[in-house]
Amino acid sequence: MKAVLFDLDGTLIDTAADFIRIIQEMCRNKPCDLVTADLIRTQVSEGARAMVKLVYPELEIEDPVFLAHRQRFLDTYGEDIAVETDLFEGMYALLEQLESQDIPWGIVTNKPRWLSEALLKALHLDQRCAVLVCPEDVTHTKPDPEPMYLAARQLKLDPQDCIYIGDHPRDIDAGRNAQMYTILAAYGYLPLQHKDDLTAWQADCIVNTVEELHQVIQQRVTPKQNIDPRIS
């Protein structure tokens, strides 16, 4: 394997705390009972619509009032995108290891580009990430393999030479559809309806911690060989 690609929320970066902060503040403003942190965490990978729906279950998702609440959520998040957000523990070391081996790493996400770029910049990852593929870059998003093919093409690699890591069935489906080696990040924000049978996702590998992920990646990647200048 010659490159490592990550889903963003719940796989590479632990963004849940900031979403919890905003959703619970929306509950106070409504007002209504606070949505629990654990429940919010299960909806992070489903996107803004799903999280806002926790606060306004009585509204249809196409209702202009609901859409206004969703936009307020996104605007609030965009203004303070990394108050409590950081990489998952152990992930900095993993990225540094890949970089020391000249193994490019990147991100394929369904998170809008303006938010993805702002988040990477806030965490000083924007210059380190070799490729970033967002919904605006493709016609079909995950679970379609199109974004995976685009990421591989931008890295000038075959998709089969890439590892893809995610915490949602659509991540694993997209990676499998592109013939990438897929890793299910069971430490992430597993959706409620899919968390009881992780083997059903059909990932090539399941990891429960970032430490396990680090070990699996090191077993799979092929570091670029340092060529002795005397041999040429």
Residues marked active site are found at 7, 9
Q: Which amino acid is at 194?
A: H
Reduced to 3 states, what is the DSSP secondary structure of residue 180? coil
Locus of tokens 């609440």: 69
Q: Which amino acid is at 123?
A: L
- The packing angle between helices 64-79 and 48-55, to 10°, is 110
Let me know the angle formed at the C-alpha of 45 by 27 and 163, rounded to the nearest 5 degrees: 160
Reduced to 3 states, what is the DSSP secondary structure of residue 167? coil
Please return the burial class of 120, using the count of CB atoms within 10 Å of its CB with bins 0-12, 13-18 and 19+: buried
**Are the CB atoms for 155 and 98 separated by under 8 Å?**
no
**Are the CB atoms for 87 and 12 separated by under 8 Å?**
yes
How many Å is the maximal CA-CA distance in the chain?
72
Reported as type and span, the H/E element at residue 6 is strand 3-6
